Amino acid sequence: MTIEPTLTIAVLLPSRCNVNGDAENGAVLARRATARGLSVDLVLVDSVDALPETVHAVVLGSCDDPSLLDTLDELRPFHDALAAWLQRGVPVLAVANGWKLLGRRFELEPGEWIDGLSIIEGDAPLRMARASDDLVVVPTRGLELETPLLVGYENHARDFRPGTGVQTLGVTQHGRGNGDGTEGALVGPFVGTHLHGPVLAKNPELADRLLLQAIQLAGGTIMLDEAPALHRLDEIAANARDAVLASLG
CB 98 within 8 A of CB 63: yes
Domain count, the chain: 1
Q: Which residue has the higher pLDDT, 1 or 21?
A: 21
Round the average pLDDT of the chain to a whole number and report it: 94
Confidence bin at 226 (pLDDT 50/70/90): low
Tell me which residue range forms the domain holding 100.
7-247
Q: Is the pLDDT of residue 2 over 80?
A: no
Instruction: Please tell me the distance from the alpha carbon of residue 176 to that of residue 133, in angstroms, as a whole number.
Output: 8
Instruction: Please spell the DSSP secondary structure of the chain, one letter per residue.
Output: -PPPPPEEEEEESTTTS-TTSGGGHHHHHHHHHHTTT--EEEEEESSGGG--S--SEEEE-PPPGGGHHHHHHHHGGGHHHHHHHHHHT--EEEEHHHHHTTSSEEEEETTEEEE---SS-EEEPEEEEEEEEEEEEEE-GGG----S-EEEEEEEEE--EE-TTPBPSEEEEES-TTTTSEE-EEETTEEEE--BTTHHHH-HHHHHHHHHHHHHHHT--------TTHHHHHHHHHHHHHHHHHHT-
Residue 104 within any structural domain of the chain: yes
Give percent above pLDDT 70 in the chain: 97
Residue 85 within any structural domain of the chain: yes
Confidence bin at 1 (pLDDT 50/70/90): very low
Q: Is the pLDDT of residue 211 over 60?
A: yes
The CATH number given to whatever domain includes residue 134 is 3.40.50.880
Residue-wise pLDDT for 39-67, tens only, equals: 999 999 999 999 999 999 999 999 999 99
Q: What pLDDT score was predicted for residue 227?
A: 74
Instruction: Please tell me the distance from the alpha carbon of residue 126 to that of residue 54, in angstroms, as a whole number.
Output: 36
Q: How many CB atoms lie within 10 A of CB 241?
A: 20
Q: What pLDDT score was predicted for residue 143?
A: 86
Residue 1 within any structural domain of the chain: no
Q: Which residue has the higher pLDDT, 19 or 222?
A: 19
Instruction: Please tell me the distance from the alpha carbon of residue 67 to that of residue 147, in angstroms, as a whole number.
Output: 35
pTM score, two decimals? 0.95
Residue-wise pLDDT for 139-158, tens only, equals: 998 888 888 999 999 999 99
Q: Is the pLDDT of residue 223 over 90?
A: no
Mean pLDDT of 196-218: 94
Residue-wise pLDDT for 117-134, tens only, equals: 999 999 999 999 999 999
Mean pLDDT of 210-234: 84
Residue 216 within any structural domain of the chain: yes
Q: Is the pLDDT of residue 3 over 70?
A: no
CB 216 within 8 A of CB 56: no
Q: Is the pLDDT of residue 85 over 80?
A: yes
Q: Is the pLDDT of residue 212 over 80?
A: yes
